[in-house]
Every structure is written in structure tokens, then in C-alpha cells.
Amino acid sequence: MVHLGNYIGAIKNWVALQDLYETFFFIVDLHAITLPYDAPELSKATRSTAAIYLACGIDSSKASIFVQSHVRAHIELMWLLSSSTPIGWLNKMIQFKEKSRKAGNENVGVALLTYPVLMASDILLYQSDLVPVGEDQTQHLELTREISERVNNLYGGRKWKKLGGRGGSLFKVPEALIPPAGARVMSLTDGLSKMSKSAPSDLSRINLLDPKDVIVNKIKRCKTDSLPGLEFDNPERPECKNLLSVYQIITGKTKEEVVSECQDMNWGTFKATLTDALIDHLQPIQVRYEEIMSDPGYLDSILLDGAGKASEIADATLNNVYQAMGFLRR
């Protein structure tokens, strides 16, 4: 379920990026199986996520949108990269340490350790210059950079040329594109924790498809404090900063405008104002989502076209890597 944090922290920025760059947006169904999941729900969730991307403004005439598993080069390149990725690099990944500790070793699959290599494959296949990432993903992007440099050194340049290739680098070394400051949305029940799909309580997040009554209830029950007035910059009031920031972003107002409007409000008044703003902002997305989901043929055609465009680029990269690593040509 895509939530407000995903939308503000990522998807909203993607919509702007598609006007500036050649962009690839894909639904990472292969990453989704790194932890236990409900198999019958996977395809439904994949379609739903694709529809949400489109409803939020991703435009298939400007960007390629597709399903990760529909471009088989992702898995093939992951295996090739795995042969050159030291296990010690993966053991350092913070998210693996945290998730494996919570789940226990007996319940953790190998994929939870190796999915950063799949993430590297996702990026390197498309000779990416820039990767939009949040602060919690910079370590994974740094791993991608290290893997690309290692494979370039092991198999690129003159070594590749001797095998009939063009020589030079097999991969571009990508850079991070960090979203604007203040775009991180925190939990509604804890202003110090990021809004998350995996948090046990649904009250901690606003899902993009939440109906009006659910949004009203979640904002009414979200954590606040007992101090008078509202302010952005008091470190002792993380929930206050978070809710004001959400209001600022979804209304498109400046920080100064929000301060002027809201600084003397009590929590009851502000929560009602925030609720109305959220409902007004999300309603067009929800309406468009329902339109897309009611026309399966339209959605399928977009995903098929996106996978076709992506495969042309991905297969060219993959074939170069196979050649440089010495495989017999198919």
C-alpha cells in the first residue's frame, strides 16, 4: 500500500523529474518477495502500484513505466554482478542487519542479504546518470557505485576489447539525486520515526487510497503535544514539525505562509485544516486510480510498452557484460 510518505518523499518528485530527464519507473515485484508475502496478492499489488504511479502523474508518453520481473535482464545481471560482489560488502548493509535481527536467522531468506545486488542491477542496466534516493538508501547506492567500478576494472577496458567488445567502461557510475530537504514524512504516532509500510499500526500512516472517513480518524487520533501554538523549528516538538511540513507540501505554500496561517491555531483547528487539505489533494488521485483500474487493457498496454522500451536498453547492457565476462555468444 503506497502511503503519503512514499508520495511526498518520492513519487511527487518523480513527476517533476520526467520533464527533465529520460526516466524509468518500475514496480519492484522481485524486491517485494525478500520477506514473507502473500502470493495471490503479489500480482494485485503490482497492478495497484502501477495504477497509483499513473494516477499521481507519471506519464507514459514521457517516461517508461513497467514491472521489474517483466524485464528478465534484471535477474540475469544480478547473478553476473553477484560473482564479483564480496560477501563482506553485503554484510555491512544496515537494513539487512536490522531486518534479520527482527525476523531471526531461521526466518531470513538469502534474498534479504543479496537484494542490494539486484538493486545495483536495476540501476546499472540503464546506464543511469542519476538515481533519486532518500537518506536511508544512500548506502545501497554507494554499494552500486562500488560494484560498477569493480566490474569495470575486472572486465572492462582493454580486457573487453580483446574479447571483441568496444572497450571502455561497461557501466556508468551513477550519482545520487537527493530530494529537497524537508521531504521526509514521519509517522503519525511517532514524530521521530519515518512513516513506513511495515509499521504494525495502520494509524501511523496515511495511505493514498484511504477513504475520507479513515483520513479524518487518523488525523484526529495522531500524536501531538500539549504546548500552545504551532511551530516548525522546535526540536522538542517533532510531531508538530511533521504535521506542519505535510500541510506545507500538499498545499504548495511556503514555510512563511504556513507559519503566518497556523502559528496561533490550537490542535483541534489545525487538524481539521490539515484533514481538509489532505482529502482535497488525494481525491483527484483516487478518482484517477479507479478509472485506471477499471480498464485493465489500458494498464496492461502501458506496462507492456514500458517493458519493451526498457528491455532494448537493458538487453544491450547485459549482452556487453556477457561478452566482457567471456561467455559464449548465444
Catalytic residue, chosen from 62, 172, 194, 223, is 194
pLDDT of residue 184: 81
Q: Could you give the domains of the chain? A: 4-183+295-325 (3.40.50.620), 202-292 (1.10.240.10)
Burial (CB < 10 A; 0-12, 13-18, 19+), residue 329, is: exposed
| Residues with Cβ within 8 Å of residue 145, at least 6 apart in sequence | 173, 174
The pLDDT tens digits for 6-32 are 999 889 989 999 999 999 999 999 999
Burial 254-281 (b: 16+ CB within 10 A, else e): eeeebbebbeeeebeebbebbbebbbeb
What are the Cα distances from residue 319, in Å, to 291, 328, 329? 39, 11, 9
Low-confidence winner among 98-102, 115-119, 235-239, 323-327 (lowest mean pLDDT)? 98-102
What is the per-residue pLDDT for 330? 84
Whole-number average pLDDT of the chain: 93
Say whether pLDDT at 80 is over 80: yes
What is the model's pLDDT at position 92?
A: 85
**pLDDT tier for residue 108 given thresholds of 50, 70 and 90:** confident
CA distance 76 to 315: 10
The residue that leads in pLDDT, 95 or 260, is: 260
Confidence check: pLDDT of 71 > 80: yes
Given a cut of 70, whether residue 237 has pLDDT beyond it is yes
Whether the CB-CB separation of 26 and 68 falls below 8 Å is answered with: yes
Q: What is the mean pLDDT of residues 132-139?
A: 81
194 catalytically annotated: yes
Q: What is the pLDDT of residues 179-224, one digit of tens each?
A: 765 568 999 999 999 999 888 899 999 999 999 999 999 999 999 9
Among 99, 159, 212, 253, the active-site one is 99
* pLDDT at 47 exceeding the cut of 60: yes
pLDDT level of residue 56 (50, 70, 90 thresholds): very high
Please pick, among 44, 197, 220, 255, the residue that the annotation labels catalytic: 197
Residue holding cell 528478465? 72
The three three-digit cell numbers of residue 229, written as one number: 501554538
Per-residue burial over 285-295, b = 16 or more CB atoms within 10 Å of its CB, e = otherwise: bbebbeebbee
Inter-residue contact 206 to 243 (CB < 8 Å):
no
* DSSP class of 3: B
Q: Around Cβ 302, how many Cβ atoms within 10 Å?
A: 21
Given a cut of 80, whether residue 103 has pLDDT beyond it is no
Whether 271 is a known active-site residue: answer no
Are 208 and 2 in contact by the 8 Å Cβ rule? The answer is: yes
Rounded percentage of the chain residues whose pLDDT exceeds 90: 84
Residue range 255-266, pLDDT digits in tens: 999 999 999 999
Counting beta carbons within 10 angstroms of the beta carbon of residue 61, is it exposed (0 to 12), middle (13 to 18) or buried (19 or more)? exposed
How far CA 40 is from CA of 45, 75, 197, in Å, comes to 9, 22, 19
pTM of the model: 0.90
Identify the band that residue 294 occupies on the pLDDT scale cut at 50, 70 and 90.
very high
Answer whether 288's CB lies under 8 Å from 120's CB: no
* Residue 101 vs residues 98, 108, 109, 112, 190: alpha-carbon distances, Å: 5, 9, 13, 12, 22
- Give the pLDDT mean for 158-177: 97
In the prediction, which pLDDT does 177 show?
92
Q: Residue 293 has which C-alpha cell?
A: 483500474
Radius of gyration in angstroms for the set of CA atoms belonging to the chain, rounded to a whole number: 22
Residues 6+ apart with CB under 8 A from 100: 108, 112, 113
Unique residue bearing C-alpha cell 531471526: 104
2-16, 44-58, 73-87, 178-192: least confidently modelled range: 178-192
Active site residue 92: no
Q: What is the mean pLDDT of residues 271-293?
A: 98
pLDDT in the model for residue 105: 65
